[in-house]
Amino acid sequence: MTTISAPAVAHGELRGLVTRIVERAGFRDADAREIADALVEADLRGIVSHGVMHVPNLVKRTKLGLVRTTPDMKVLAESASVARIDADRAAGFIAAARAMDTAIAKARATGVGAVAVTNSTHYGMGARYAERAARAGMIGLALANATATMPSPGGARALLGTNPISFAVPGEGDAAAICLDMGLGQVTLNSVRDAAKRGRALPEGVAAANDGTPTTDPAKALDGGFLLPFGGHKGFGLAVLVEVLAGVLTGAGIGRDVGSLFVDYDRAQNTGHFLLALDVSHFCSLEQFRSRRDFLVSWIQASPRAAGAGPALLPGQREYQTRRERIASGIPLPKETAADLAVLAEELGVAVPQSLRDAA
């Protein structure tokens, strides 16, 4: 859990600040805007663990040459519906957005576009890339591998990351009708780091110490210990699936070869992404798809509920609701994040908005 400050910062102000910081770090204008959009969008949806708190580390990694601000991305292999791209240590936010745009163009022509990306870096909230396809009228899937933090069931060695799966289905406006966006750990690595910083215990069953025994102590989980996959062997199985598509197939690192964002500063991350776009109109008419999709949505939403339970939600609905609230009333940034951004902005000669100073 994070400390929430008041007052909140308007999303436009935060986006402007992050864009200017990232530009000063050397990114081209359009790329700086894309990165700022991706990070602020996560905070707007309440996904604080993948929001602007990452800016100082991104700038640090850029200075160390672990993330390149002007990468020379190259197509390594290509056919009508497939491409494999070397991202040249681009910011993952940029590499994955471009790769999904390529997948969308291929799907437009052939019905399916699948793009594998190697030599990339952290891409934050995966929904961003799956939704790019949904906004183009396509079903989108985005996968990434992450540094090894999870053992196999009963294991005592970190084998695979919390490898996020993000899946979006076109809706009527900008928002997807369905947007499943999840890491495969019971909790994210960032929430364990946060609990350690604040001296808070973890919930039961989300982490293990370095000998594989369950622990609620975040320090033990971080000191050679592990995050546990959600759903036991099933979550682990999904992590293997993602590792095959985003690691093995792409040519990127596998398991511990993928550098940790907050631990490994002596080597590039070499994470991989897998982006898939399916153009609905190649499978059936858009009208048929919409009507069948709406049937599924109402089937779920109209379902009977247990006493005291709230309404049935579709994946993504909770985040879209938070987004609407935060567009209206601002983003309640954690105090440390606001303070870190203010310090970084001053170091880089970027003006700090008063609302961020108030939040710090």
Residues within the interface to ligand NAD (CB under 6 A): 47, 50, 122-127, 144, 146, 162, 164, 166, 180-183, 188, 313, 315-316, 318-319
Segment 207-213 long-range contacts (CB within 8 Å, at least 24 positions apart) = 208/151, 208/156, 210/156, 211/156, 212/151, 212/154, 212/155, 212/156
* Residue 187 Ramachandran class (φ > 0 left, ψ -120 to 50 alpha, else beta): beta
**CB of residue 41 to ligand NAD, shortest distance in Å:** 10
Six-digit token string for 196: 């350690």
**CB of residue 138 to ligand NAD, shortest distance in Å:** 18
**CB of residue 281 to ligand NAD, shortest distance in Å:** 25
- Is 334 in contact with 5 (CB distance < 8 Å)? yes
* Angle in degrees, 0-180, between the axes of helices 335-347 and 55-63, rounded to the nearest 10: 40
Q: Which is nearer to ligand NAD, 66 or 144 (CB)?
A: 144
**CB of residue 351 to ligand NAD, shortest distance in Å:** 30
Query: CA–CA separation, 214 vs 25, rounded Å?
Result: 41
Six-digit token string for 19: 């864009």
**CB of residue 350 to ligand NAD, shortest distance in Å:** 26
**CB of residue 40 to ligand NAD, shortest distance in Å:** 14
Q: Which is nearer to ligand NAD, 102 or 191 (CB)?
A: 191
Q: Which is nearer to ligand NAD, 248 or 339 (CB)?
A: 248
C-alpha to C-alpha distances, 99 to 75, 84, 278, 301, nearest whole angstrom? 10, 9, 14, 34
Query: CA–CA separation, 234 vs 309, rounded Å?
Result: 26
Task: Give, for 328, the enclosing helix (H) or strand (E).
Answer: helix 317-329
Q: Which is nearer to ligand NAD, 316 or 332 (CB)?
A: 316
Q: Which is nearer to ligand NAD, 165 or 352 (CB)?
A: 165
Q: Which is nearer to ligand NAD, 46 or 212 (CB)?
A: 46
Using Cβ positions, the residue closest to ligand NAD within the complex turns out to be: 183
